[in-house]
Amino acid sequence: MSAPTCSFCGKREDEVRALVPGPPPASICDVCVSLCEDIVGKESGGPQEPTDAQETEAESEERARLRAAVAEYLKRHPRPDLVLACSFCGKAKDDVHKLVAGPRVFICDECVRRISKTLAHG
């Protein structure tokens, strides 16, 4: 059996601080949760980009690399047959404020906030 990986960036559980499982095959790592928080926050007027004190240069570079990788994957592999719904809670695009796309899965703003709170208290 293969090691669990993040559905957004593909990193294995041993390569991240935390990997939160969702309904199979969805899972998300702490780095991607943070990236999704940034995306959701910008759209909703919520949290802004982390300050220098909160994010190291390496983390910033990793965040930029992940953004570019997801954008490139979606450009090369368009999937018009994908159902636009959160892979974690199942809510449709029209039932949430924001839906963030990964290469094979989606996560809504509500699940991003819920998972972020879980990681913060975990």
pLDDT tens digits, residue range 63-111?
777 777 766 766 777 666 656 899 999 999 889 999 998 888 999 999 9
The pLDDT of residue 44 is above 60: no
- Both tokens assigned to 51: 């300050």
Share the mean pLDDT of the chain.
82
- Whether 50 has a pLDDT exceeding 60, the answer reads no
Residues whose CB is less than 8 angstroms from the CB of residue 74 and which lie 6 or more positions away in sequence, other chains included: 101, 103
Paired tokens of 78: 């368009």
Residue 114 has pLDDT above 80, yes or no: yes
56 pLDDT higher than 80: no
Cα–Cα dist 73/71, whole Å: 6
Pick the residue with more confidence: 34 or 68? 34
- Which position has the token pair 């570019």? 68
- How far, in Å, are 21, 49, 86 from residue 42 at the CA level? 25, 8, 19
Give pLDDT, residue 32. Answer: 95
Residue 20 clears pLDDT 70, i.e. is over it = yes
The pTM score is 0.67
From CA 1, how far away is CA 56, in angstroms rounded? 34
The residue behind tokens 């570079």 is: 61
User: With contact defined as beta carbons under 8 Å apart, do 46 and 23 qualify?
Assistant: no
